[in-house]
A = this chain, B = another copy of it.
Amino acid sequence: MERCGAPEEVIRVEQVGEPGAPGPHEALVELVASPIHPADLLTIMGMYAGDPGPLPKVPGKEGLGEVLAAGNLVKHLKPGDLVPVLLPGDGVWQERHLLPAETLVALPPGGDLRQYAMAIANPATALLMLRAVVPLKMGEWVIQNAANSSVGQYLVQLAGKAGIRTVNVVRREGLAEKLHHLGADVVLVDGPDLPPRVGRATGGAAILLAIDAVAGEAAARLAACLAPGGTLLNYGMMSLKNVQVSPAHLIGNRIVVRGFWLPPVMAELGADGRAKVFGELISLVASGVLKAEVEATYPLDRVKEALAHAARGERGGKVLLVR
């Protein structure tokens, strides 16, 4: 991308030279697959939380790589190993990467390549939203909207494993069966009467955490479902609108509104904490317990089509760039 703007205008595919052989502490990694996250689209449009950094740049926050060659002092990687590619400040969407080997960890062989390609960013967001802000205990409730998104589906699965009960708000009919199959306790279509329907569906249970990826009035409806003292945690803006919340809920119910952004939460965890989270998630993805849907795959040179597809609503899963 040359500048921030509409993806079809600012993204182009460029042929560059091969990166050359890895230095003694490096690995040459080929990109196998990379999801197009909403955060990628927002970055390209210039609407992402973080500074886009110097431009032009290569977008892409997360992917799966295959080690093609490792430097002669690298002991823990060999050609053919699969590694998550997570770069500071984007840059994943290129065919080959020369990377410091110390940043790479080989994944267990035999895992689903597409699931591996998206094993960190969204699952870690879901996991840490359940843990890092309002730690929920077994039997307690969380409500989320955009429940059919990848983060939403990971959250259903991770909450289910932890015994946390979920109210899942979606924007259209026909998703309940799928989400119940993943472990959802309650699935409701959003609407102005959401709060009383949530109350009936949960038997009036106190909900202390609401997770919002939509913003706009949908956020206000989630906040209206919270028990006094509850937290509305926003991590996305699918509506492209401001988060809204009623002063009556802020003032009368002592609702707190916060944002969740993975990079600083990961930084706060420290290296050991991060390694633990990665290990936990990789193990769940490798064994097929934790997964998200894929709607389509595109080769890297059709990235514009892929971005246009990813930007459409009502998808049935992630759009992935693949080699």
- Chain A positions near chain B (C-beta within 8 angstroms): 47-50, 215, 217, 220, 234-237, 242-261, 264
Contact = CB atoms under 8 A, between A and B. Distances in A.
Residue from the set A234, A246, A254 with the largest chain B CB neighbour count within 10 Å: A246
Contacts of A243: 244-247, 250
A234 B250 contact: yes
A22 B260 CA distance: 58
Contacts of A49: 247-248, 251-252
A134 to B, nearest CB: 13
Given A243-B247, A245-B257, 4 more contacts: A234-B247, A242-B247, A251-B260, A252-B259
A228 to B, nearest CB: 9
A220 B50 CA distance: 18
B264 A254 contact: yes
A257 B233 CA distance: 11
B234 A217 contact: no
Nearest to A248: B49
Stoichiometry, as copies per complex, reads: 2
Of A47, A48, A49, A264, most B-chain CB atoms within 10 Å: A49
A177 B266 CA distance: 48
Contacts of A250: 234, 243, 257-259
A242 B251 CA distance: 12
A48 B234 CA distance: 26
A139 to B, nearest CB: 27
A252 B261 contact: yes
Smallest CB-CB A-B distances: 3 pairs: A250-B259, A49-B252, A251-B259
A55 B261 CA distance: 46
Contact of A256 (B246, B247, B257): B257
Contact of A245 (B242, B252, B254): B242
A212 B312 CA distance: 36
A144 to B, nearest CB: 15
A242 B245 CA distance: 5
Contacts of A254: 258-259, 261, 264
Contact of A235 (B215, B235, B251, B259): B251
A148 to B, nearest CB: 19
B247 A259 contact: yes
Nearest to A251: B259
Contacts of A242: 217, 220, 244-247
Contacts of A249: 259
B236 A247 contact: yes
Given A242-B244, A242-B246, A244-B243, A261 B251 contact: yes
A4 to B, nearest CB: 13
A236 B252 CA distance: 11
A48 B264 CA distance: 37
A259 B50 CA distance: 27
Nearest to A242: B244
Given A217-B242, A234-B250, A244-B243, A257 B257 contact: yes
Nearest to A262: B251
